[in-house]
Amino acid sequence: MKSERPTCAVIGFGRFGRLMGRVLREEFSVRVYDRQPDHAAAREIGVQVVSLAAACAADALFFCVPISEFESAIREARSYLRPGTLVMDTCSVKLHPIEVMRRELPEDVEALGTHPLFGPDSAKDGFRGLRIVFCPLRVSAASLHFWRAFWERRGVRVIEMSPDEHDRRAAYSQGITHFVGRVLSELPLESGEITTKGFEAIRGVIEQTTHDTWQLFHDLQHYNPYTPQMRGDLIRAFTTVMLKLYPDDPALKALRRVQRARQRAEGKRRGSGAP
């Protein structure tokens, strides 16, 4: 007997997949698929662990898999997809998954790129005040309106932008935060009696970024085409500050000359339209 509730599937039942399962369960009959499913977590949330074929028979699918595994997950699922199904990614980059969906999904399947700007930690007290990015690819006005309303009912602000704009902005927000957090985590920074609020804020960045997996950090740095530019700008900024402190240091001067040469070469490459 067919369920009266619409169906939604979560592909990838890790920490974020479980968060999605909880919020989707409020309005949908939720199916989850994972190669190594957590049956206890599924029972606790009230979702059903199913095969990939059964998951792909749902009305809408959320792919909650690592960025580097998204393409293989789409290829594994595509033969099971039905016409009219809506596929959504949840990747923290957007150019890569949008291109994968454009290339790999059948034309009769809808596709919407999303980036929830929250996770299990930031959403532990609810979703109100959080944000999600939409990058429409091939999605009906009705589907787009439905999912915008779904998140807005929970107090989430929906931001619509192009994949390129998303990745350019994200490289200098999420990308730089994770990079700085990982760099600082290599230092022996411990709280103590004379630490300041500013120091504790830095400790908070370290804890937030290192709580996520190394795979997420790796993928953020490798699958966003703007992160190399961000890292170069960060290193140049560090060199600028060091030169203000030590203006006559020959090693710093040599490093600045190398950085300027690279900037000129990069500018010429962009001007020629080279990839």
In this predicted model, what pLDDT tens digit does every residue of 156-186 receive, in sequence order?
A: 999 999 999 999 999 999 999 999 999 999 9
Strands of the sheet containing 86-89, edge to edge, are 48-49, 29-33, 7-11, 60-63, 86-89, 110-116, 131-138, 157-160
Query: In the predicted model, what is the mean pLDDT of residues 51-69?
Result: 98
Query: Among 29, 30, 37, which Cα is nearest to 10's?
Result: 30
Confidence (pLDDT) at 1? 38
In this predicted model, what pLDDT tens digit does every residue of 82-113 receive, in sequence order?
A: 999 999 999 999 999 999 999 999 999 999 99
Q: Is the pTM of this model over 0.85?
A: yes
How many C-alpha atoms does 87 have within 13 Å on its Cβ side? 32
In this predicted model, what pLDDT tens digit does every residue of 10-44 receive, in sequence order?
A: 999 999 999 999 999 999 999 999 999 999 999 99
Confidence (pLDDT) at 267? 79
Q: Which two tokens stand for residue 229?
A: 């530019």
Question: What is the pLDDT confidence band of residue 273, given thresholds at 50, 70 and 90?
Answer: low
In this predicted model, what pLDDT tens digit does every residue of 216-243 receive, in sequence order?
A: 999 999 999 999 999 999 999 999 999 9
> Mean pLDDT in the chain?
94
Map out the domains of the chain as residue ranges: 7-164, 166-272
Query: Among 224, 112, 231, 212, which Cα is nearest to 166's?
Result: 224
- Whether 2 has a pLDDT exceeding 70, the answer reads no
What is the CATH code of the structural domain delimited by 7-164? 3.40.50.720
